Amino acid sequence: MKKLSLSKKTLDMKLSATSDKTLRLKDCAGEVVVIYFYPKDSTPGCTVEGQDFTRLYKKFRACKSQILGVSRDSLSSHEKFKSKYKFPFELISDPDEKLCRAFDVIKEKNNYGKKVMGVERSTFILNKEGMLVKEWRKVKVANHAQEVLDFVKTL
């Protein structure tokens, strides 16, 4: 599968999301789209990251942008995670890693001394025309959502 790079059109793939939705990134044209990839539902860092995006959600919407969280977890897991923390945005289930691989976020990680393949916490911004205009890789959660919002405000 072709990897995305800055200023390239995004792939047109069907994405299974919470709230019984099937999304396509191309259908988001006209809005800025924040896509954040995270390793696993209900883990400390992923929970804080989701809560930070939730705290700033109204400000993102005021900028005509939407937020989509992505991990390899199941839709069932996503629904529980979203409900528990009252996330106002959709979570995309990517168990076959198609979207993760398109954005090149599957990386070798060290998990308690073992090498495993996992999702590298990353965030991408698509502009209103659906072009990839910004990416953050190896994201540290602290202040990240605010940094993303600050960038979105410049578009």
CATH value at residue 45: 3.40.30.10
| Assigned domain for 24 exists | no
Q: In the predicted model, what is the mean pLDDT of residues 85-107?
A: 95
Domain count, the chain: 1
Which residue in the list 28, 46, 63, 100 is annotated as catalytic? 46
| Assigned domain for 60 exists | yes
Range of the domain at 81: 29-152
Q: What is the CA radius of gyration of the chain?
A: 14
**For residues 50-89, b (16+ Cβ closer than 10 Å) or e, as one string?**
bebbbebbeebeeeebbbbbbbbbebebbbebbeeeebeb
| Assigned domain for 12 exists | no
Q: In the predicted model, what is the mean pLDDT of residues 130-141?
A: 93
Question: What is the distance of C-alpha 117 from the center of its chain?
Answer: 18
Q: Tell me the pTM.
A: 0.92
DSSP state of 26: G
| Assigned domain for 7 exists | no
| Paired tokens of 103 | 């954005």
| More confident of the two residues 145 and 132 | 145
- Residue 46 annotated in active site: yes
| Assigned domain for 79 exists | yes
Give 129's pLDDT tier (boundaries 50, 70, 90). confident
Average pLDDT value over all residues in the chain? 91
| Assigned domain for 127 exists | yes
CB 45 within 8 A of CB 121: yes
| Assigned domain for 70 exists | yes
Give 148's pLDDT tier (boundaries 50, 70, 90). very high
| Assigned domain for 118 exists | yes
Q: Which residue has the tokens 């190896």?
A: 138
CB 51 within 8 A of CB 124: no
